[in-house]
Amino acid sequence: MSNVQMKDIMEKFYLELVAGKDGLEREITTSDISRPGIEMAGYFTHYAPERIQLLGRTELSFVNELPSEVRMERFNQLCQKETPGIILTRENEAPKELILAAQASGVPIFRSALKTTKLSSQLTNYLEGMMAPSTTKHGVLVEIYGIGVLITGASGVGKSETALELVKRGHRLIADDAVNIRQEDYETLVGSAPDMIRHLLEIRGLGIINVMALFGAGAVRSHKKISLVIHLEAWEPQKLYDRLGIEDEKIKIIDTYVTKTTVPVRPGRNLAVITEVAAMNFRMKMMGVNAAEQFSTRLTSEIEKDK
C-alpha cells in the first residue's frame, strides 16, 4: 500500500492551497471521501474525520446563512487532528471561520475548479488505486490477444525466452523478471513493471534488451489486468499432467484467485505457441466455449449408447 499525502493530492489534481501549508504532509488513511452536509447542520455523531472533506456549493451556501459564531463552532468540529484536508470545489471562497479553524488545527484547505461530484469520483478512483494491496511476483507478464498472462517458473526455465518469442509473434510485454501487482478490487489484479526495468527483457547469452527500441511502441504496455497464470516447470516423467483440462486450477494472489495452467518444459516443445494457445483457449472459455467439456459430454454420450 502506497503512502499518500495531501501534497500528492494537491499536485495530482492541481489544487490551490488556501491555508494550512504545514499540513501538506498529512497522510491519507482511507480512500473514502465525505461531503459533510449533515455535519454543517450540526449532526457530528457519525462524522468520519479521517476522510478528505469536500465542501461544495450546497454545503457552503447553507453554512454561510448561519450566524458567525455557529459557523465557527461547526468548522472547529470539522477540523480535527485526524482530518487530512478540506477541499472547496467550484472555486468557492473559504469562509473566514473555516480558515481560522483550519489554522488552529493544522488542517490544510484547498480549492478546485472541478464540480464536487466529478472531483469526488476522481479522488476516489485515484486513492483506491494508490492504496490498494500490492505485492511483487517473480515472473513475466505479457498481453496475448487482450488477455494478461503471468508466466511463472524457476529461474532459467525459459520465461523470458518465451516472452521474446511472443513479442515477435505480435503480442506485448508488460514486465520481465519482477511484476508489481496491485489488487484494485476484489477480483481485479493489475500488473506493471518497476520503473527501473520497464520495457527491458533479460535473455541469457544476450543480456538486457530494450523491447520498445527493438520492436516499437506497439510491443509494450505499461500495465494489464492479470487473467491467467502459466507456470512453467521441468518435465517430471513420474508426474501425471492434466491431459483434458476439464477442471481449472486456481492460484491465490493477494486476495484474488486466478486460473493457473501448469506447462511441463522439455526439448522440442514450443512454449510460446503453447502459451499463446492457452490464452486463446482461456478466452474461448470466457465466451462459453469449453472444448474439454464438449469432449467429455460426447464421450459420456458414446458410453451410454454402448450400454
Q: Which residues are catalytic?
A: 138, 159, 177, 243
158 marked as binding residue:
yes
Q: How far apart are CA 119 and CA 203, in angstroms?
A: 45
222 marked as binding residue:
no
296 marked as binding residue:
no
Alpha helices in the chain (DSSP H): 6-12, 37-40, 57-63, 68-78, 96-105, 116-130, 159-168, 211-215, 271-286, 291-306
> Grid coordinates standing for 112?
478546485
167 marked as binding residue:
no
218 marked as binding residue:
no
68 marked as binding residue:
no
Q: How far apart are CA 188 and CA 293, in angstroms?
A: 26
Cα 34 versus chain centre, distance: 23
156 marked as binding residue:
yes
149 marked as binding residue:
no
Of 258, 275, 52, 33, nearest to 167 by C-alpha is 275
DSSP code of residue 220: B
154 marked as binding residue:
yes
Binding-site residues sit at: 153-160, 202
Binding-site residues for Mg(2+) sit at: 160, 202
Binding-site residues for ATP sit at: 153-160
